[in-house]
């Protein structure tokens, strides 16, 4: 097969965070496939055919990309942030596992990128300086009961917690349940960071605590960083020490 398929993370919203490797691949691709807002983010100088689609059709999008690559196209499947973190990489491999056996022979590569959590963490200091875990509150592909178990387990382990997809217009109550669970487990004094529209117009970072957090500041474009027992605020910065006493 002469085609290839690269799963490309576009970074966390700021064009400066598009890596040179990702940019090079986008300019080599004959076809660029992805969720409509992500395809729109691809540089105009990348001249490949653009195939944009809606949210919720990730596996179908992956199957289309694999079909084009099998026909000889050079395909870039784009994803916001890093494609391997709640992105298109997993959906692509799901399609490979269950689809045409010949797809397993394709030249497939995942291209790393700057994720939203890494960008937000860097802007606020070093909150991820010790052990941390990442949980999505989206119930689109997993039940709330699983999310709640993981929130409790992360708190019991005293991990710094990064929360993706904290709210939406259909499940705002999940955020309130999450904050209630974390406050009970960690105490109201735990550092809480709300990072919204990172790398985009309207970018905002709010540092507060679980006791004082204002849920109305959290949007669909936010992520949360909830500190461990060791995380602390140092002036305008937040950091988690590398050691435990």
Every domain of the chain and the residues it spans: 4-114, 117-239
> What pLDDT, in 10s, does the model give residues 164-203?
999 988 888 999 999 999 999 999 999 999 999 999 989 9
Say how far apart CA 115 and CA 126 lie, in whole Å: 15
pLDDT at 1: 60
pLDDT (average), residues 144-162: 96
Say how far apart CA 26 and CA 6 lie, in whole Å: 9
Neighbour tally for 119: CB within 10 Å: 21
Write out the H or E segment, with its range, that includes residue 224: strand 222-226
Give the residue among 195, 186, 178, 174 at the shortest CA–CA distance from 227.
186
Position 244 confidence tier, pLDDT thresholds 50, 70, 90: confident
Say how far apart CA 86 and CA 93 lie, in whole Å: 13
pLDDT (average), residues 5-19: 94
**Pairing of the two strands 160-164 and 132-136:** parallel
Say how far apart CA 53 and CA 230 lie, in whole Å: 43
Residue 123 scores a pLDDT above 70 = yes
Say how far apart CA 5 and CA 109 lie, in whole Å: 7
pLDDT (average), residues 148-166: 96
Report the CATH superfamily, name and number, of domain 117-239.
Tetrapyrrole methylase, C-terminal domain (3.30.950.10)
- Name the CATH architecture for the domain at 4-114: 3-Layer(aba) Sandwich (3.40)
């Amino acid at each position: 097969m002469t085609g290839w398929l690269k799963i490309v993370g576009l970074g966390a919203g700021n064009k400066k965070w598009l890596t040179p490797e990702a940019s090079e691949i986008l300019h080599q691709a004959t076809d660029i496939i992805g969720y409509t807002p992500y395809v729109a983010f691809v540089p105009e100088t990348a001249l490949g055919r653009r195939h944009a689609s809606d949210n919720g059709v990730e596996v179908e999008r992956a199957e289309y990309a694999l079909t084009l690559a099998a026909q000889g196209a050079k395909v870039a499947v784009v994803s916001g942030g890093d494609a391997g973190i709640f992105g298109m990489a997993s959906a692509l491999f799901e399609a490979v596992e269950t689809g045409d056996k010949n797809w397993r022979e394709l030249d497939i590569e995942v291209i790393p990128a700057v994720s939203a959590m890494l960008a937000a963490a860097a802007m606020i200091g070093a909150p991820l300086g010790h052990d941390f875990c990442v949980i999505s509150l989206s119930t689109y592909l997993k039940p709330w009961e699983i999310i709640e178990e993981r929130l409790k387990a992360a708190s019991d382990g005293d991990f710094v917690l990064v929360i993706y997809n904290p709210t939406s217009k259909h499940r705002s109550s999940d955020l309130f349940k999450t904050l209630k669970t974390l406050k009970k487990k960690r105490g109201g004094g735990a550092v809480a960071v709300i990072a919204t529209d990172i790398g985009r117009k309207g970018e905002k970072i709010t540092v507060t605590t679980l006791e004082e957090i204002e849920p109305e500041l959290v949007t669909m474009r936010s992520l949360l960083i909830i500190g461990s027992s060791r995380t602390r605020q140092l002036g305008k910065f937040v950091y988690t020490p590398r050691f435990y006493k």
